[in-house]
Amino acid sequence: MNPYPQVVHIFTIPVIVLLVASLLLPVSIARADINLPSTSASSDSSYISGTATSHLAQPLGTGYTGTITSASFSYNVTVAGGKHDAYMSLVEFDDLTDYNNALSGSLDGAIASYSIGAGSYIDTTTGDQVFSATPSITVNPSYYYILLVSIQTNDFYSGSEIDFTVYGTEAVLLPDACTDNYPIGATHTGCGVLGTLGITLVGIGDVSLPPDDTSTRIDNVDPIDGQEIATSSLPYTFAVDGYINEDDYEEGARIMIKIDRNTDQQAQGALLGWNSAFGNRTYLPLDASGAFDVSTSSDAITANLDFPMDRVGLYRARWEIQVPGFSLFGFALNYSTEQSLNTRFTIGTSTPLDKIQLDQEEYLENIIGSIEGDPLEQCNFNFFDSAFDFRLGSDLLGCIGGMLHWFFVLPPGVLENTVVQLKEGFLTRVPWGYFTRIVTAVQDGAAGTLPTIHADIPIGGGEDISIEFDIDDMVGGAATITDSFVSPDGDTLREIVEPIIQLIVGLLVLMFIWKDIMRSV
């Protein structure tokens, strides 16, 4: 018998009322649409791609009036599997200097940031995606605005392994993990690539897009930096794309690819460093100014790079956009380099010695890059100088602190590189590799189809009835029905019910943990 019937009664009624109200509330709220002139900025064929998390910003400028009531952008997921989140927000500035600083990568001067919309657990399937939202944000004609778009993987499903492509027209990258602002088309690992956004805004006038980036540049190369090429893929096709400005272009312009082999003496067990004597070059002509996307044919790479590319080991490549400098009777006597890029790649499975050499080179580069100033600078003092001071903050302590920091504090990137090396060289080997493989299979898993069950049921007389259950079709149909429930306000069943289910699951989890703790105490 319940000793506290009134208490249960008091709590039960409000809970039921709240549950019913939470179901009805989204249906009963009327939305006030404001009809304003609608403009759109359509995308061109260029695109960006990024991994894990990418933030893109579209500078909108100033002079807008009215209220933003609808916004959308399109993008394309290139690797299927898992879920991802998408966000869209508007950042407001009341000062032109702060606005310009934001275009260089710092949002510190923003006076407000409005969320236009957020989508969580969006199905990540290969193909085009459209994110849309219906905000209600009133803009000020004297303020400056930047539109931010963010796409990130949902950690629960796929860690950081989703690759995606966002289409659009002009964008400035403001990656959260990077402090620099990258020009359109520039590549930065882990921070995404600048590109263009296809943005449609309703209720906001005069969306003006900045002009196209026409600077001479190398956008992408293949093989990318650090790529490992299997010997079965040889001969390999080298490719490069980018842009050559009309002012920079001269007839006879070309792409030069120069390749050096590092471990040519590997057979003798010695590492002699980059051996340019074995380096070789190939040239790819650029027929016109503008965007280019050129590659070697297999024949060209074997013909022009006349050393065998089937040697396992480390290579480095230098990519240059070259234009003729001085010509005589139509023949270029020399070339000048407009843009260049250095990358490294490996042919075949690199040896442990290759790995160590590469690791140590990268490690040294990191060390050199991380040292800001001379750590011994403060150590330039004389114990016997009358001005010498042992007190806190003196040169002596500064020197010791600098030395300790220099010796023991890990430079940026070292830990991350170490984890990557550990994963590649250690965690994929027997016996840990089996566990890693399971984790990878779960992380990289993509939604497939449910199995079909086939059953032969004997009915006597030597005859069978053959029944086939297409579980995927059956379950998919049920899911379609539940997804088709939409409230008069346009909210799906999921949008209405999911918060309640999350609440119930959360409470059950907390109760379970609480009971376990109480049992242990």
Partner 1 sequence: MISALILSLSVSVLTMIFSFFPQVEVLPTIANVNLDTVIVGGVASVYRLADLFWYITNVIQGFFFIMGYYAIKFTFKFLAGLFQGIGGGAIN
Q: Which residues bind partner 1 (CB under 8 A)?
A: 81-82, 121, 123, 156-157, 351-353, 355-356, 359-360, 363, 366-367, 406-411, 414-415, 418, 421-422, 424-426, 428-430, 433-434, 436-438, 441-442, 445-451, 472, 475-476, 478-479, 482, 494, 497-498, 501-502, 505-506, 508-509, 512-513, 516
Angle between helical axes of 5-28 and 493-520 (0-180°, round to 10): 150
Q: 335 by DSSP, 3-state: which?
A: strand
Residue with tokens 């023991």: 408
Residue closer to partner 1 (CB basis): 448 or 460: 448
Nearer to partner 1, 115 or 449 (CB): 449
3-state secondary structure of 297: coil
What are the residues whose beta carbons fall under 8 Å from the beta carbon of 456, sequence distance 6 or more? 464, 465, 466, 467
Closest CB 275 distance from partner 1, rounded Å: 22
Q: How far is the CB of 469 from partner 1 (least distance, A)?
A: 14
Residue 68 CA from chain centroid, whole number: 28
Residue 365 or residue 456: which is nearer to partner 1 going by CB?
365
- Asked whether 203 and 68 are in contact (CB, 8 A), the reply is yes
Which H or E element spans position 137?
strand 137-138
- Beta carbon nearer to partner 1, 11 or 426: 426
Q: At a CB cut-off of 8 Å and minimum separation 6, what does 438 contact?
A: none
Shortest spacing between CB 405 and partner 1, in angstroms:
9
Q: Is 214 exposed, middle or buried (0-12, 13-18, 19+ CB in 10 A)?
A: middle
For partner 1, the closer CB: 134 or 417: 417
Name which of 303 and 415 has its Cβ closer to partner 1.
415
CB atoms within 10 A of CB 427: 16
- How many residues can be counted in the chain? 521
Does residue 204 contact residue 233 with C-beta atoms inside 8 Å?
Answer: no
- Residue 381 or 406 having the CB closest to partner 1: 406
Residue closer to partner 1, measured from CB, 215 or 357: 357
User: Which residues on adjacent β-strands are paired with residue 53?
Assistant: 152
Who contacts 382 (Cβ-Cβ below 8 Å, separation ≥6)?
Answer: 388
Q: What is the DSSP letter of 231?
A: G
Edge-to-edge strands, sheet with 53-62: 112-123, 83-93, 144-153, 53-62, 172-173
In angstroms, what is the minimal distance from the CB of 367 to partner 1? 6
User: Locate tokens 């580069």: which residue?
Assistant: 365
Q: Which is nearer to partner 1, 126 or 502 (CB)?
A: 502
**Shortest Cβ 506–partner 1 spacing (Å):** 7
Q: In whole angstroms, what is the distance from residue 386 CA to residue 389 CA? A: 8
Element (H, E) at 88: strand 83-93
Give me 519's structure tokens: 């049992």
* Cα-based distances in Å from 146 to 53, 129, 142, 415, 417: 19, 22, 14, 34, 34
**CB 180 to partner 1: min, Å:** 24
Helix axis angle for 493-520 and 471-483, nearest 10°, is 110
Closest alpha carbon to 46 in 131, 168, 138, 162:
168
Smallest gap, in angstroms, from Cβ of residue 243 to partner 1?
38
CB of 357 to partner 1, least distance (A): 9
Least Å from the CB of residue 379 to partner 1: 15
Give me the least distance between CB of 516 and partner 1, in Å please. Answer: 8
- The helix/strand/coil state of 409 is coil
The 3-state secondary structure of 336-398 reads: EEEEEEEEEEEECCCCHHHHHHHHHHHHHHHHHHHCCCCCCHHHCCCCCCCCCCCCCCCHHHH
Cβ proximity to partner 1, 304 vs 351, nearer residue = 351
Instruction: Give the nearest distance from C-beta 46 to partner 1 in angstroms.
Output: 31
- Give 388 or 426: the residue with its C-beta nearer to partner 1: 426
Q: Tell me whether residue 51 or residue 443 sits nearer to partner 1 (CB atom).
A: 443
Q: How far is the CB of 484 from partner 1 (least distance, A)?
A: 13
Minimum gap (Å) between residue 25 Cβ and partner 1:
20
| Closest to partner 1 by CB, 187 or 346 | 346
